[in-house]
Amino acid sequence: MKIHEYQAKELFRAQGIPVPPGEVAESPSAAAELSRRYGKTVVIKAQVLVGGRGKAGGVKLAKDPQEARQHAESILGMDIKGLTVNKVLVTEAVDIAKEIYLGVIMDRASQQAVIMASAAGGVDIEEVARDRPEAIHRLTVDPLYGVLAFQSRALARELHDDPAVARQIAVIIEKLYAAFDETDASLAEINPLVVTPAGEVIAIDAKVNVDDSALFRQGEVEAMRDLSAEDPGETESRKMGLSFVRLSGNVGCIVNGAGLAMATMDLVKTYGGQPANFLDIGGSSNPDKVVTALKIILGDSSVRSIFINIFGGITRCDDVARGLVAALQQVEQVPPVVVRLTGTNETEALDILKQVDITTAATMDDGVKKAIELAH
């Protein structure tokens, strides 16, 4: 789960990481009011759950309330990579002498948290990793010990020559790891961590992604979820325990299992169609899930046909068939549906499906081809 910059900054602030004063505004007048209150130059920053806000024109400096109002007006409602900006963060501008990158990720290869840091901050860190990997310092953290003092001291020293500044950075490294660890994050990042001309160290940006599997014990973070920043289909599917991602095509897909769902989307593309979505109805499916899945897909008016691909291992094909019949009876104006069911109780399922007007397919290839044809 992703959270906004202003929310990540709240987590950092609670941890004791220096963050400039700032508040969220949802209207130009509120932004102007905040600018008036701070009485100095502020930065107006689009709050959307995607990177590249600066390049998209979603981050602007404002000298006075008048400018703050203008910038907020242009940024609010802006579309950044398909997401609408509903909120801006109005935060005090900071003088910059040096920019540092600092991030903690859960590293798959070492199976431990890794702190990544670079004196080349403020830029796209993936570019640095690709072009100048030697400019990134890595510190693997043993989960039993956390960050040891000598480790953060040594890493901070690599990032700044001034001992007084390095001391502040070392403390921030430990606090960033604490924030990462306590929130079950998969990523906690400060880019950039700024050193001011006066030698103060401040986090002027913040990014935190939290492990979805840990949300059951991260109530405070879960409460930060911004439903307005999410596809409504994704929200609804999550409530039903389905996994859904919207794509831009016209062949809707309902599949059991994530890998098979991805392979089904790929096959649609291979045979010249465009998948409309990824939708995994999970292992032990019940008829209600199929009803929800169908309704979510039908919420997308660009869907011209639907392919249902079920490989019944644990999933009983007759359950899916019953759910499908119920769903088709509940929803009007369903585009053509192609069903492929294999596995447990397959024969019963095919019998049940005779009640409704759908196309059946013997194999995945066959089903995909039929669904593409019907989408034309």
Partner 1 sequence: MSILIGKDTRLVVQGITGRDGSFHSAQMLAYGTNLAAGVTPGKGGGRFEDRIPIFDTVRRAVQETGANTSIIYVRAPFAPDAICEAADAGIGFIVCITEGVPVKDMARVLPYVRSRGSRLLGPNCPGIVAPGDKVKVGILPTAIFKAGSVGVVSRSGTLTYELVFQLTSNGVGQSTCVGIGGDPLIGTNFIDILQMFEEDSETKAIVLIGEIGGTDEQEAAGFIVKNLSKPVVAFIAGQTAPEGKRMGHAGAIVSGASGTAKEKIEAFEKAGIAVARIPSEIAPLLKKTSSAVSG
The C-alpha atoms of residue 158 and residue 330 are separated, in whole angstroms, by 64
- Is residue 274 within 8 Å of residue 252, measured between CB atoms? no
CB 156 within 8 A of CB 173: yes
When asked if residue 278 is in the footprint of partner 1 (CB under 8 A), the reply is yes
Q: Per-residue string for binding with partner 1, 114-143, x by CB under 8 A?
A: ------------x---x------------x
CA distance 173 to 232: 37
109 three-class SS: coil
User: Measuring CA to CA, which residue among 189, 217, 48, 222 is closest to residue 106?
Assistant: 189
Q: Does 211 bind partner 1 (CB under 8 A)?
A: yes
Say whether 373 is catalytic. no
Yes or no: say if 345 and 316 are a contact pair by the CB < 8 Å rule: yes
Which of 303, 309, 326, 307 has its CA nearest to residue 233? 303
Q: Are 199 and 162 in contact (CB under 8 A)?
A: yes
**Total residues interacting with partner 1, rule: CB under 8 A:** 54
- 281-286-288-291 Cα dihedral, nearest 10 degrees: 50
207 C-beta neighbours (distance < 10 Å), count: 19
Q: Which of 14, 258, 299, 355 binds partner 1 (CB under 8 A)?
A: 258
What is the closest distance, in whole angstroms, from the C-beta atom of residue 20 to partner 1 in the complex? 27
Pick one of 5, 67, 205, 280: the residue that binds partner 1 (CB under 8 A). 280
The count of residues in the chain is 376
Q: With binding defined as CB under 8 A, does residue 286 bind partner 1?
A: no
**Identified binder of partner 1 from the candidate list 78, 93, 260, 326, rule CB under 8 A:** 260
Q: DSSP letter for 348, please.
A: H
Q: Which is nearer to partner 1, 145 or 150 (CB)?
A: 145
Q: In this chain, which stretch among 16-24, 38-46, 101-109, 160-168 interacts with partner 1, using CB under 8 A?
A: 101-109
Binding status of residue 73 toward partner 1 by CB under 8 A: no
Residue 6 among the catalytic residues? no
CB 230, min distance to partner 1, A: 11
Query: Cα separations (Å) of 196 from 100, 158, 264, 280?
Result: 11, 18, 52, 49
Q: To the nearest whole angstrom, how small is the minimum distance from the Cβ of residue 93 to partner 1?
A: 28
- Is 50 a binder of partner 1 (CB under 8 A)? yes
Active site residues: 101, 189
Residues near partner 1 (CB under 8 A) = 50, 106, 108-109, 111-113, 126, 130, 143-144, 181, 184, 186, 211-214, 216-217, 243, 245, 247, 255-263, 265-270, 275, 278, 280, 283-284, 311-315, 342-344, 363-365
